[in-house]
Amino acid sequence: MEVCYQLPVLPLDRPVPKHVLSRRGAISFSSSSSLFGAPDPRQLSQRRGAISYDSSDQTALYIRMLGACVIFKQLFSRDVRVRSRVGFEPERRGSHPYLSIDFRILHSQPESAGPVSARKIRRLLSFQRYLHSSRACRGVTPQNPLHILDHDYTGQAKCMLEKVGSWNFDIFLFDRLTNGNSLINLTFHLFNLYGLTELFQLDMIKLRRFLVMVQEDYHRQNPYHNAVHAADVTQAMHCYLREPKLSKSLTSCDILLGILAAATHDLDHPGVNQPFLIKTNHYLAALYQNTSVLENHHWRSAVGLLRESGLFSHLPSEDRLDMERQLGSLILATDISRQNEYLSKFREHLDREDLCLANAGHRHFVLQMALKCADICNPCRPWELSKQWSEKVTEEFFHQGDIEKKHKLEVSPLCDSQMNSVGKIQIGFMTYVVEPLFAEWARFSDTRLSRTMLGYLGLNKASWSGLLQERAGAAEGTAATATAPTPADDTNSKVLPQGSKES
């Protein structure tokens, strides 16, 4: 027997339709009412939550909402209608058509309406996790159903974790073997491998809950900036933490922060870049004053999950705040627009040979550089892995470009599918961003791993150049065939048209 939600009743005893549900969780990219602008405040009721992760931070308006967040109420004559299947249709403001884009439906697929279950969602959920739960309650089959893995898959995943320090680690295979839970399983394994659970007296249930929330707050619809990318960066960070210079100098707190920063560095990424948010006047761009908008959001979202899970609730408040601050410093270092700033500082330290890993500030800076390397290390992976990442990030770029074209916006660099290709983008990225960074990292840590990464980088760059040349040659051949004169048009041809006097 099906039982429906007991829904609130509006004045005049007008019933609210079943699809008008109260939503709970974080208001961020994934849960904001619209990608560009929120609804009129009068449309929102019963909004409660923390103002920010730290009351002294005057710029963060709210990060994670605690409790019931939004009930959409729109009365039109006798009926209450919600004009969109995801909640409501954002109002158009001014003459800008892109203001009506709802980010939650950029990648979504049509769903059939189904019965609503009586089970209530009582946990504190972010919108991402609420959305998954509400779909399950309506009987909607998820795109990636969570089947129970058999022992063969579990055993293979465990065997892979035994070689988690290998640079050839195939994160795509590991994600399949763990049924899409690569970030949870890999990070949980690393916590135990480094003994962080015991050293910091972490509650295993809270740790698992935290990692589940982190993975669920990544958008699986994103071709590139998703939980698999976060797992890949975390695995690369583990490889760097094992390098001789770092393994002999880093403290357990440094290792904890490095792994946490890698796992959460792109948390709740929307699949579009910072210039896109700035030129569309997104509220987060204004919130962070157009400076490291995405990175600030990733950091605040991570802190929100840490507090929601209570992972460090047993630690003194001063220690918790210091860890949150250092976590933010690491995540903010991944801002690609500040690449030259960090690279110049790193190069100066290497030239002066004054990096002292006994100094806490220098250790933290090296961790920042390690995370930067881990974040863009895809071109330094074996070709089979690097090529997949290149195609995925280009797909995400082109998707943004398609949105910009659709809404008559200036197309961002690298996002125009008609002007760019995977090979061109990757060769430029390797030449101007990856090579300078990893050359300096090899100066700092001249090890077998560094030489391996530079070797793969050179091979992958040559492979993309070869593919471009092949395609260019094929295109020229096709053009030559199309413009070549036919035998009837060739005056020097010995073949004459049928019916001529000489035939």
> What is the C-alpha to C-alpha distance for residues 183 and 213, in angstroms, rounded to an integer?
11
pLDDT score for 133 = 55
Distance set, CA 211 to CA 74, 259, 311, 496 (Å)? 37, 12, 10, 77
Indicate if the pLDDT at residue 155 is higher than 50: yes
Indicate if the pLDDT at residue 353 is higher than 60: yes
Closest CA to 31 of 104, 90, 124: 104
By DSSP bridging, strand 14-15 and strand 75-76 are: unpaired
Burial label for 222, CB within 10 Å (0-12, 13-18, 19+), is buried
Largest interatomic CA distance in the chain: 104
Residue count of the chain, please give it. Answer: 503
Which of the listed ranges 9-13, 17-21, 282-286 does the model predict with the highest average pLDDT?
282-286
Q: Which of 48-52, 189-193, 289-293, 489-493 has the lowest mean pLDDT?
A: 48-52
> What is the C-alpha to C-alpha distance for residues 29 and 359, in angstroms, rounded to an integer?
38
One-letter amino acid for residue 126 of the chain: S
User: What is the average per-residue pLDDT within 370-378?
Assistant: 98
Indicate if the pLDDT at residue 98 is higher than 90: no
Inter-residue contact 80 to 20 (CB < 8 Å): yes
Rounded (10°) angle between helices 317-332 and 252-264? 50
CB-based burial, 257-277: b 16+ in 10 Å, e otherwise: bbbbbbbbbbbbbbbbbbbbb
The phi-psi region of residue 201 (left if phi > 0; otherwise alpha if psi is between -120 and 50; otherwise beta) is: left
Closest CA to 128 of 104, 100, 144, 95: 104
Indicate if the pLDDT at residue 232 is higher than 90: yes
What tens digit of pLDDT does each residue of 414-464 get?
A: 999 999 999 999 999 999 999 999 999 999 999 999 999 999 999 999 999
CA 86 to the chain's CA centroid: 22
Distance set, CA 216 to CA 129, 130, 181, 211, 302 (Å)? 6, 10, 10, 9, 12
Q: Catalytic residue numbers?
A: 225
pLDDT bucket at 143, cuts 50 / 70 / 90: low
> What is the C-alpha to C-alpha distance for residues 42 and 130, in angstroms, rounded to an integer?
23
Inter-residue contact 408 to 97 (CB < 8 Å): yes
Residue by residue, what is the 3-state secondary structure of 339-399? Answer: HHHHHHHHHHHHHHCCCCCCCHHHHHHHHHHHHHHHHCCHHHCCHHHHHHHHHHHHHHHHH
pLDDT bucket at 141, cuts 50 / 70 / 90: low
Distance set, CA 16 to CA 31, 73, 95, 115 (Å)? 22, 8, 32, 15
Indicate if the pLDDT at residue 302 is higher than 70: yes
pLDDT bucket at 495, cuts 50 / 70 / 90: very low
The pTM of the full predicted model, rounded to 2 decimals, is: 0.71
pLDDT bucket at 245, cuts 50 / 70 / 90: very high
pLDDT score for 476 = 74
Indicate if the pLDDT at residue 66 is higher than 50: no
pLDDT bucket at 108, cuts 50 / 70 / 90: very low
pLDDT bucket at 477, cuts 50 / 70 / 90: confident
Indicate if the pLDDT at residue 223 is higher than 80: yes
User: What is the average per-residue pLDDT within 379-392?
Assistant: 98
pLDDT score for 304 = 97
Indicate if the pLDDT at residue 221 is higher than 70: yes
Q: How much of the chain, in percent, has pLDDT values that exceed 90?
A: 62
pLDDT bucket at 329, cuts 50 / 70 / 90: very high
What tens digit of pLDDT does each residue of 20-48 get?
A: 333 333 333 333 333 444 443 333 333 33
What tens digit of pLDDT does each residue of 204-218 get?
A: 999 999 999 999 999
Burial label for 69, CB within 10 Å (0-12, 13-18, 19+), is buried
pLDDT score for 137 = 59
Indicate if the pLDDT at residue 100 is higher than 70: no
Closest CA to 121 of 112, 111, 131, 113: 131
Higher pLDDT, 73 or 274: 274
> What is the C-alpha to C-alpha distance for residues 246 and 254, in angstroms, rounded to an integer?
10
Sign of CA dihedral 306, 309, 315, 316: positive
> What is the C-alpha to C-alpha distance for residues 320 and 1, in angstroms, rounded to an integer?
48
pLDDT bucket at 192, cuts 50 / 70 / 90: very high
pLDDT score for 478 = 72
**How many other CB atoms are there within 10 angstroms of residue 65's CB atom?**
23
Question: ∠ CA 321-31-57 to the nearest 5 degrees?
Answer: 30
pLDDT bucket at 471, cuts 50 / 70 / 90: confident
pLDDT bucket at 266, cuts 50 / 70 / 90: very high
> What is the C-alpha to C-alpha distance for residues 361 and 376, in angstroms, rounded to an integer?
23
Higher pLDDT, 490 or 174: 174
What is the residue whose two structure tokens read 């195939």? 170
User: What is the average per-residue pLDDT within 268-276?
Assistant: 96
φ/ψ of residue 185, rounded to 5: -65, -40
Percentages (nearest 5) of helix, strand, coil residues in the chain: 55, 5, 45
User: What is the average per-residue pLDDT within 352-371?
Assistant: 97
Burial label for 315, CB within 10 Å (0-12, 13-18, 19+), is middle
User: What is the average per-residue pLDDT within 93-104?
Assistant: 37
pLDDT bucket at 136, cuts 50 / 70 / 90: low
pLDDT bucket at 87, cuts 50 / 70 / 90: very low
> What is the C-alpha to C-alpha distance for residues 437 and 382, in angstroms, rounded to an integer?
18
pLDDT score for 75 = 32
Alpha helix segments (H runs only) across 41-84? none
> What is the C-alpha to C-alpha distance for residues 267 and 300, in angstroms, rounded to an integer?
9
Tokens representing 144 are 């990636």
- As a whole number, the mean pLDDT across the chain is 77
The set of long-range contacts for 133-136, using a CB threshold of 8 Å and a minimum separation of 24, is 134/21, 135/111
pLDDT score for 345 = 98
Question: ∠ CA 189-195-200 to the nearest 5 degrees?
Answer: 115
One-letter amino acid for residue 89 of the chain: E
Q: Which of 66-70, 191-195, 359-363, 490-494 has the lowest mean pLDDT?
A: 66-70
Indicate if the pLDDT at residue 117 is higher than 80: no
Indicate if the pLDDT at residue 4 is higher than 70: no
